[in-house]
Structure 1
Amino acid sequence: MYNEYDDPKFFGQYAQMPRSRQGLSAAGEWSQLKGLFPDMRGRSVLDLGCGYGWHCRYALEQGAARVLGLDISENMLDEAGKRGGEGIEYRLCGIEDYEYPQEEWDLAVSNLALHYIGDLDTVYEKVYRTLRPKGVFLFNIEHPVFTAGVGQDWIYSPKGEPLYWPVDGYFTPGERVTNFLGCKVKKQHHTLTQILNCLIGRGFRITAVEEAKPPEEMLSEPGMRDELRRPMMLLVRAEK
C-alpha cells in the first residue's frame, strides 16, 4: 500500500520535525497524553501506527511485558529499530490489516494515525475484540475542526498574518487532500459524533476526552502562539 511516509522527499521533511528529532518531550500533546496511560507493569501493549516507536519504548520503560508496534511505513520501522528497545516487536502491517486476535492485549494505543483510516467503526470493533477485559484503548487523532477544511490552513492577511481558521464541510466526512510538509497528503475527516459515538456503539466506556494544548514552555517556539488559536488534536481514552 502506498503511503506518504515512504516517499523520500516527504520523509526527509518529517524527519526534521521536533517530535521526530527529540521524541515525546517535543510533542505538544505529550504532557496530557502521558497522564492518560494506564499502569503498564506486566501488561501487553499494541501500538497502532507506531511510527518511530516512541510510545513502544515508553511502554517498555514503564514495565510492559510485551509490546508490538505496527506501521505501514518501512521508513518508520527502520527508524524505530535504530532507536533500540530490546523486547519490542515491530511489524510492517496496516491498522486495518492486523488480525486482532481475541482478548490478546491490555492496552491498544494509537497516536496521530487514525485520521488516515476511512472506516473507524470497523477498527473500533476489532480493537474491542482484541482487548482483554478492562483493557484500555488510548488514541490521539487530529481534531475534526482541524481536518474539516480542505486546505487545513489559516486564512491569511495581505501581510501574511494568520487571521482565522476556516471550518468548512464539517458534516461531510471522508477524504481530504491536504498540503503537509510541502507534499500532498490524503487524510480522512471524521466528525466528533463519529469519533465518540462509534466507540460507545462498539461497547467502549469513554473515560477521558481532552483537546491537546501545548504546555507553556513550548509557547516561545516559532509559530506556537498560532497553534493555540485552534484545536489540532483530540485525545480519547476508552475502556472495555
Structure 2
Amino acid sequence: MKQNKYDEVSFFEKYSQMPRSIGGLQAAGEWPALRAMIPDLRGKKILDLGCGFGWHCRYAREQQARSVLGIDLSDNMLERAREHTNDPAIEYRRMAIEDIDFREPEFDVVLSSLALHYVERFDLVSRKVYHCLAAGGSFILSVEHPVFTALAAQDWHYGPNGERLHWPVDHYQDEGLRQARFLDHDVIKYHRTFSSYIHGLVDAGFSIEKLSEPQPTPEVVARVPEMKDETRRPMFLLIAARKPA
C-alpha cells in the first residue's frame, strides 16, 4: 500500500503548520543527532528517500554535494520543495520509495528522514538501497522509534487531571500495520521491532556503524516547549549503515 496523505488538502494544510515544516531542520528535535551521523558530502551523489519539502536536499548541497535527487510520492511536497530550491544540481522526482529501481550503483549516500515507517517492506527497500549505493556508500535513516509505533494510539496514559503519567507499550512483537491518528487524520504506519530494522539492513549486506535514540536538546525544548516530555520515552530511531568497500 502506497499511502499519499500529503496530497489531501486538509492534511497538507495542517502538516504545513507544524514547527518543523515552518522552521526546517533547526526545528526538528532529532536533527543535531542525525546531522552528526551524516558523512562528508563534499563531491558526493545523494539520494533522499521521502524528501518532503527538500530540507535535506538543500542541506546536502550546502555541504557541497555534487548532485542530489529527492523523491517523494506527494505532488504537494514536491511543489513546495521546488518553490524553495534554486539549484540545478537538485532534482525532485515523483516516485514512491518502494518503486526505486536504479540499475547501477548511482549514489554515494542515501538519506531518509521519518519516511520509512510508512513503508510496509523495509527489508525490500534496504536491498534496493544497497544495490544503488556505490561500494563504501552510506545509508543514513531516521524512523519513528518502535516504542512509539507499537500501539496505534501513539499517545500518553493520562491521569485524572489530564497529566501525562506514562507512555504505554503493548503488542510490541506484533509487527505490521497500525492505523494511527496524526494531525486529526487516520494515517497508516508500519510497526516493526528494533531488531527487524537492524536485521533488514544486515541481511541486505550493510554493516551498522551508529545507532541513536536522541532526545531534544535544551535549546530545542526552549524553542518548542511542548517537546519537554520527549525526554521520557524515545520517539526517534536513527541508524547509520555502510555498504562494504
**TM-score scaled to structure 1, two decimals?**
0.98
Aligned length: 240
Match 1:212 to one of 190, 211, 214: 214
Note closer, same or farther for the CA distance 1:7–1:23 as it changes in structure 2 (3 Å cut): same
Structure 2 match to 1:231: 234
Provide the C-alpha distance between the structure 1 equivalents of 2:3 and 2:20, rounded to a whole number of angstroms. 23
3-state SS of paired residue (1:219): helix
Structure 1 match to 2:116: 114
Matches for 1:59-138 after TM superposition, within 5 Å: 59-86=60-87, 87-138=89-140
| Letter in structure 1 aligned against 2:149 | T
Is the Cα contact below 8 Å between 1:6 and 1:74 reproduced in 2? Answer: yes
Matches for 1:187-198 after TM superposition, within 5 Å: 187-198=189-200
Structure 1 match to 2:48: 47
Is the Cα contact below 8 Å between 1:150 and 1:168 reproduced in 2? Answer: no
Report runs of 4+ in structure 1 exceeding 3 Å deviation.
none
Provide the C-alpha distance between the structure 2 equivalents of 1:53 and 1:70, rounded to a whole number of angstroms. 9
Provide the C-alpha distance between the structure 2 equivalents of 1:62 and 1:218, rounded to a whole number of angstroms. 23
Is the Cα contact below 8 Å between 1:60 and 1:85 reproduced in 2? Answer: no
Structure 2 match to 1:8: 9
- Give unmatched runs, 5+ long, in structure 1: none
Match 2:144 to one of 117, 142, 145: 142
Shift of residue 101, structure 1, vs aligned partner: 2.6
- Give unmatched runs, 5+ long, in structure 2: none
Provide the C-alpha distance between the structure 2 equivalents of 1:41 and 1:219, rounded to a whole number of angstroms. 31
Shift of residue 85, structure 1, vs aligned partner: 3.7
Is the Cα contact below 8 Å between 1:72 and 1:93 reproduced in 2? Answer: yes
